[in-house]
């Protein structure tokens, strides 16, 4: 039994066998497998060799046609390596004697040959690149087998990876993945957000968990304590089974809240909505007692496939959610991509500082055809439904006005073409940069609502990259500077009669519910799984109490003091959350 | 079972590089005998391309071919013929 400490990113406990994803760079860690798994590894190796042979034959055929027999003859050498009985024997022996994965065996054996070839006369040393080529091909075929397994798994698993790209999470088989454990990242990394959205436990920032766990190891992911236990002993396993059981009981114990309103003891009503990433989650929002969708992220449309989504793809995804919600409000946020593979791969030179670069609304305003396609679909889908449009990352008035102009242009186009749509959607903006928060009085005159995005607001206010594990501990929404900005926005909303919601991670954390309520927030939007807890907090307090808490918090100078105080206050209301 | 051996010099300009090495290995694999190649430093299995590459044999190197098996005679004949003929190269 081994225990790895990381950062708890999504609460809960998952007990399941492991699936391990390698990094794309094929940097193969030495990964041991139990003795009785050697046969599985040998079978994987044989399959990868076969697949690689077939690929090379195809390649050889095509290049013979295009480039002539002479040039294509280099593939004889590639095939020769895959047919080399001594080489294949070495792979198998390494797997058997070292109890390692096929990937590790292939990489070490071939790299030792490559090293030897490098010391030879030049024309032989050049063959090193053919050896690397074969290594890559074999690894891709080995890892590819696992990769594909990710979108249709046949059993429940805990997924371990160095990091998950948004497209990997979008393609993930959500029925069978019970928990996530990731080497990289902090509490608000993409993986953490997805895990909370899906309501599955996750631990991030584990540094090298993928090197220590082999496929099929039994793994416990404890998202509450932020630990991963590999090969647990019987006693630990039993404790966790009980703990998992208690958690399920706790969740059941909150089910009675579903039909009850989110109202304080002294009668002040709060609106509780759910954040969703995928259309299928809309049902979870209602099941958990949410009053609508407060944030519908639309990035999955772009990340789940290799081709750009069509207007119809958008339209179908929006209708799917609106039909589930049946007249309840749905806030659709326009494309919030950037600082990731999607936008970076579209640029000739990668940005030096992508989080301060062409992302989100900035990307949309420079790629109007993508932006217009999405807005057309939203306006069409909203016919007869309660939809609001939300622009992300607005930093100055010009951006807001430009984005609104695009909406007007699209409405004109639709009218000219005689296509049915809704033209009077409320338009709101995310407040997620200090510039927007500090200028919120000016913005309030030009929008129908504000939505505070705490993840980016913290990142940009505190200058901390939330995915960089070296500084992730500095990332906290409890920083007094962040809290003051949030208070400013809520106040501006009150002053100008503009509704303010909060849809960042903070909104789903019961520790902050009391504070936000006291600061004047009346619309919370959070992961569906967090709705019952937030409702429980709200129904357990008076507004007066919450206001006292908020006044006290705003006098503290230090995030640790604030967090400790809020934790103590919340513990009084929701002791079950701290059952450890 | 005879164990036979014969020496042969590499005559082609670039020695035992990838393509001739592959020719040699494919030829060796056509025989059932166990076939080994020795240069001054190393003895390797002639049926394994990675091993033959390890010889790093340049022009002028003398290789000793050892064949052990029913078709050892034919194997030696064919392999030394291929090497001495410069693998059909210059």
List of residues 6+ apart from A427 with CB closer than 8 A: A388, A389, A390, A391, A404, A407, A447, A448
Residue among B12, B15, B17, B22 flagged as catalytic:
B17
Whole-angstrom Cα distance, residue A335 to residue A63? 42
Tens digit of each residue's pLDDT (9 = 90 or more) over A464-518: 987 777 888 899 999 999 999 999 999 999 999 999 999 988 999 999 999 999 9
Domain A35-148: give its CATH superfamily: PtsI, HPr-binding domain (1.10.274.10)
ipTM of predicted complex? 0.89
Distance from CA of B14 to the nearest CA of A (A): 8
pLDDT confidence of residue A338: 75
pLDDT, greater one: A170 or A242: A242
Distance from CA of A106 to the nearest CA of B (A): 14
Tens digit of each residue's pLDDT (9 = 90 or more) over B28-65: 999 999 999 998 889 999 999 999 988 888 888 999 99
Whole-angstrom Cα distance, residue B4 to residue B14? 28
Residue A19, SS3?
strand
Whole-angstrom Cα distance, residue A297 to residue A110? 45
- Chain A partners within 8 Å of B43 (Cβ): none
Distance from CA of A80 to the nearest CA of B (A): 6
Q: Does B43 touch chain A (CB under 8 A)?
A: no
| Domain layout of chain B by residue ranges | 3-88
CB A466 within 8 A of CB A192: no
What is the chain A residue with the closest CA to B24? A80
Residues in chain A: 580
For the record, the structure tokens of A380 come out as 């069409």
For the record, the structure tokens of A349 come out as 């030179």
Count CB pairs under 8 A between chains A and B.
Answer: 53
Contact between chains at A85 and B48 (C-beta distance less than 8 A) = yes
Chain A contact probe: residue of B25, B27, B53 with most A CBs at under 10 A: B53
The pLDDT of residue A559 is above 90: yes
Would you call B76 a catalytic residue per the annotation? no
Whole-angstrom Cα distance, residue A537 to residue A520? 15
- Chain B partners within 8 Å of A117 (Cβ): 53-54
Fold for the domain defined by A2-27+151-250? Glucose Oxidase; domain 1 (3.50.30)
Contact between chains at A84 and B14 (C-beta distance less than 8 A) = no
Domain B3-88 falls under CATH 3.30.70.270: no
Q: Which of A61-65, A343-347, A575-579 has the lowest mean pLDDT?
A: A343-347
Closest in B26, B53, B58 to A127, CB measured: B53
| Domain layout of chain A by residue ranges | 2-27+151-250, 35-148, 273-425
Q: Per-residue confidence at A167, pLDDT binned at 50, 70, 90? A: low
CATH, range A273-425:
3.20.20.60
For the record, the structure tokens of A452 come out as 């505070």
Q: Does B30 touch chain A (CB under 8 A)?
A: no
């Amino acid at each position: 039994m081994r225990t790895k400490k990381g950062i708890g990113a999504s609460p809960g406990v998952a007990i399941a066998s492991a699936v391990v994803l390698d990094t794309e760079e094929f940097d193969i860690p030495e990964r041991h497998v139990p003795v009785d798994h050697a046969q599985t590894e040998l079978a994987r190796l044989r399959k990868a060799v076969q697949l690689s042979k077939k690929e090379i034959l195809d390649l050889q055929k095509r290049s013979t046609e295009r480039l002539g027999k002479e040039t294509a003859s280099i593939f004889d050498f590639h095939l020769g390596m895959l047919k080399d009985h001594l080489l294949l024997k070495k792979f198998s022996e390494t797997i058997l004697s070292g109890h390692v994965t096929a990937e590790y065996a292939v990489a070490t054996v071939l790299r030792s040959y490559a090293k030897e070839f490098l010391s030879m006369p030049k024309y032989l040393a050049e063959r090193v690149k053919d050896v690397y080529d074969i290594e890559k091909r074999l690894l891709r075929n080995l890892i590819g087998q696992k990769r594909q397994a990710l979108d249709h798994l046949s059993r429940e698993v805990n997924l371990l990876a160095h990091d998950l790209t948004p497209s990997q999470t979008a393609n993930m088989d959500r029925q069978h993945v019970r928990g996530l454990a990731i080497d990289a990242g902090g509490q608000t990394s993409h993986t953490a957000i997805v895990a909370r959205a899906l309501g599955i436990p996750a631990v991030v920032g584990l540094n090298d968990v993928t090197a220590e766990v082999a496929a099929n190891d039994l793994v416990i992911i404890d998202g509450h304590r932020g630990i991963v236990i590999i090969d647990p002993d019987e006693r630990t396993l039993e404790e966790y089974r009980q703990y998992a059981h208690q958690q399920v009981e706790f969740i059941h114990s909150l089910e009675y809240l579903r039909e009850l309103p989110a109202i304080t003891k002294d009668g002040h009503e709060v609106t509780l909505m759910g954040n969703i990433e995928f259309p299928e989650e809309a049902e979870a929002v209602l099941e958990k007692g949410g009053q609508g969708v407060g944030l519908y992220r639309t990035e999955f449309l772009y990340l789940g496939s290799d081709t750009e989504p069509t207007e119809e793809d958008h339209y179908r995804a929006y209708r799917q959610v609106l039909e589930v919600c049946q007249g309840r409000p749905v806030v659709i946020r326009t494309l919030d991509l950037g600082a990731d593979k999607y936008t970076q791969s579209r640029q000739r030179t990668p940005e030096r500082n992508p989080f301060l670069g062409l992302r989100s609304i900035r990307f949309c305003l420079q790629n109007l055809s993508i932006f217009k396609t999405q807005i057309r679909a939203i306006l069409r889908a909203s016919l007869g439904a309660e939809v609001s449009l939300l622009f992300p990352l607005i930093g100055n008035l010009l951006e807001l006005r430009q984005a609104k102009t695009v909406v007007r242009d699209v409405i004109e186009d639709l009218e000219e073409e005689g296509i049915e749509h809704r033209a009077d959607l409320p338009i709101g903006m995310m407040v997620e940069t200090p510039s927007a928060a500090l200028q919120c009085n000016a913005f309030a005159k030009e929008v129908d609502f504000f939505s505070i995005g705490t993840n980016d607001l913290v990142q940009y206010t505190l200058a901390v990259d939330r995915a960089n594990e070296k500084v992730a501990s500095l990332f906290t929404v409890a920083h007094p500077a962040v809290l003051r900005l949030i208070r400013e926005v809520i106040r501006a909303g009150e002053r100008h009669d503009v509704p303010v919601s909060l849809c960042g991670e903070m909104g789903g954390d019961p520790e902050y519910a009391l504070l936000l309520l006291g600061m004047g927030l009346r619309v919370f939007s959070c992961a569906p799984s967090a709705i019952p807890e937030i409702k429980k907090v709200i129904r357990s307090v008076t507004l007066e109490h919450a206001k006292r808490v908020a006044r006290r918090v705003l006098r503290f100078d230090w995030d640790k003091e604030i967090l400790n105080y809020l934790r103590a206050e919340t513990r009084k209301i929701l002791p079950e959350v701290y059952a450890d | 079972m005879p164990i036979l051996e014969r020496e042969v010099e590499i005559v082609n300009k670039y020695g035992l590089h990838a393509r001739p090495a592959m020719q040699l290995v494919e030829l060796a694999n056509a025989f059932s005998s166990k076939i080994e190649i020795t240069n001054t430093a190393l003895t390797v299995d002639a049926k394994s391309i990675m091993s033959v590459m390890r010889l790093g044999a340049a022009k002028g190197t003398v290789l000793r071919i050892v064949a052990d098996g029913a078709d050892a005679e034919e194997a030696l004949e064919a392999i030394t013929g291929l090497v001495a003929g410069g693998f059909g190269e210059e």
